[in-house]
């Protein structure tokens, strides 16, 4: 287990799924973790109660409503520092182009881009100055295989994740001279609450069969890659987008 003693880690979407598993691994490594949640305070508190160590906090913000800077300010007030930012929070809304109304289409696009792209971008902009003051930091963005293969019924999601990949690489170039390393993790389907309607639905078996492993990834598998990218010694991974999709989609 990596040694994150004394470090502050902000995990967005930390009350469930990948975020919850990531918060646990960082806490096991000695970090003090800020568990971000959008609305489910009870779930966030349950995560806090499960984390080893002390000094962990819950922080609330609706990232789709332009509150990223307030989230960073509150986290810094409570933790004193943010060495690692994990942009994990996101939404996945269907809006099929042939059946969605104009209002449904526009609303879903605006909400998805605001949450999945603008929120992370603002968090990065807000957190970087204090990372510079600290002498460095890590930013790990959770994107998706949908950024590469296309999302016909969730076009805004695929577009937002493709843009987040591009943002990750742009920031990797901009921030490496300041010892701030930026990477992305692109999962496929993961056994989480968000994916359960699909994995447990009538198409679940076909979805799992997309991978030669015959299953979706666990949240812990994704979290382990996130933590690796934040670990000292992995600096040269900056700018990398790591596929963690069980060979369900292979890029060339």
Each residue of 176-187: pLDDT tens digit? 999 999 999 999
> 251 in a domain, yes or no?
no
Each residue of 185-235: pLDDT tens digit? 999 999 988 888 989 999 999 999 999 999 999 999 999 999 999 999 999
Calculate the alpha carbon distances from 19 to 37, 66, 133, 242 in Å: 10, 20, 26, 17
pLDDT band for 13, please (50, 70, 90 cuts): very high
Among the listed residues 214, 227, 232, the one whose alpha carbon sits nearest the alpha carbon of residue 242: 227
In the prediction, which pLDDT does 3 show?
87
**Do residues 247 and 212 lie in contact, with contact meaning Cβ atoms separated by under 8 Å?**
yes
Range of the domain at 151: 8-244
> 250 in a domain, yes or no?
no
Among the listed residues 27, 24, 79, the one whose alpha carbon sits nearest the alpha carbon of residue 53: 27
> 2 in a domain, yes or no?
no
Catalytic residue among 37, 92, 157, 181: 157
In the prediction, which pLDDT does 193 show?
82
In the prediction, which pLDDT does 156 show?
98
In the prediction, which pLDDT does 252 show?
83
What percent of the chain stands above pLDDT 70?
99
In the prediction, which pLDDT does 196 show?
86
In the prediction, which pLDDT does 128 show?
98
> 3 in a domain, yes or no?
no
Q: What is the spatial distance between Cα 5 and Cα 19, in angstroms, rounded to a whole number?
A: 19
Each residue of 63-89: pLDDT tens digit? 999 999 999 999 999 999 999 999 999
Instruction: Give the CATH number for residue 139.
Output: 3.40.50.720
- The mean per-residue pLDDT over the stretch 148-161 comes to 97
Q: What is the spatial distance between Cα 246 and Cα 212, in angstroms, rounded to a whole number?
A: 7
Q: What is the spatial distance between Cα 150 and Cα 131, in angstroms, rounded to a whole number?
A: 34
Residue 92 annotated to the active site: no
**Do residues 57 and 34 lie in contact, with contact meaning Cβ atoms separated by under 8 Å?**
yes
Q: How many domains does the chain have?
A: 1
Q: What is the spatial distance between Cα 227 and Cα 65, in angstroms, rounded to a whole number?
A: 28
- pLDDT of 1 higher than 60: no
> 1 in a domain, yes or no?
no
> 69 in a domain, yes or no?
yes
Sheet containing 137-142: order of strands: 57-60, 32-37, 8-11, 84-87, 137-142, 180-187, 241-244
In the prediction, which pLDDT does 208 show?
95
- What's the pTM? 0.96
Which residues partner with 182 through β-bridges? 139
Q: What is the spatial distance between Cα 214 and Cα 208, in angstroms, rounded to a whole number?
A: 5
In the prediction, which pLDDT does 2 show?
66
In the prediction, which pLDDT does 192 show?
87
């Amino acid at each position: 287990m990596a040694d994150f003693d004394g470090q502050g880690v902000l995990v967005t979407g930390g009350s469930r799924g990948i975020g919850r598993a990531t918060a646990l691994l960082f806490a096991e490594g000695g970090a003090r973790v800020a568990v971000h949640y959008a609305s489910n305070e009870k779930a966030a508190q349950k995560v806090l109660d499960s984390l080893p160590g002390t000094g962990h906090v819950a922080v609330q913000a609706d990232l789709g409503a332009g509150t990223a800077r307030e989230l960073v300010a509150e986290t810094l007030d409570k933790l004193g520092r943010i060495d690692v930012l994990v942009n994990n929070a996101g939404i996945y809304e269907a809006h099929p182009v042939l059946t969605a109304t104009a209002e449904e289409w526009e609303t879903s696009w605006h909400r998805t881009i605001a949450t999945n792209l603008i929120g992370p971008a603002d968090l990065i902009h807000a957190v970087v100055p204090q990372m510079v003051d600290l002498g460095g930091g890590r930013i790990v963005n959770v994107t998706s295989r949908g950024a590469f293969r296309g999302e016909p019924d969730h076009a805004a999601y695929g577009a937002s994740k493709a843009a987040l990949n591009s943002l990750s690489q742009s920031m990797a170039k901009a921030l490496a001279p300041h010892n701030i390393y930026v990477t992305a993790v692109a999962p496929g389907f993961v056994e989480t609450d968000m994916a359960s309607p699909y994995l447990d639905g009538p198409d679940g078996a076909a979805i799992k069969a997309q991978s030669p492993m015959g299953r979706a990834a666990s949240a812990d598998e994704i979290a382990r890659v996130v933590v690796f990218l934040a670990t000292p010694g992995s600096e040269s991974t900056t700018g990398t987008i790591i596929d963690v999709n069980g060979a369900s989609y292979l890029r060339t």
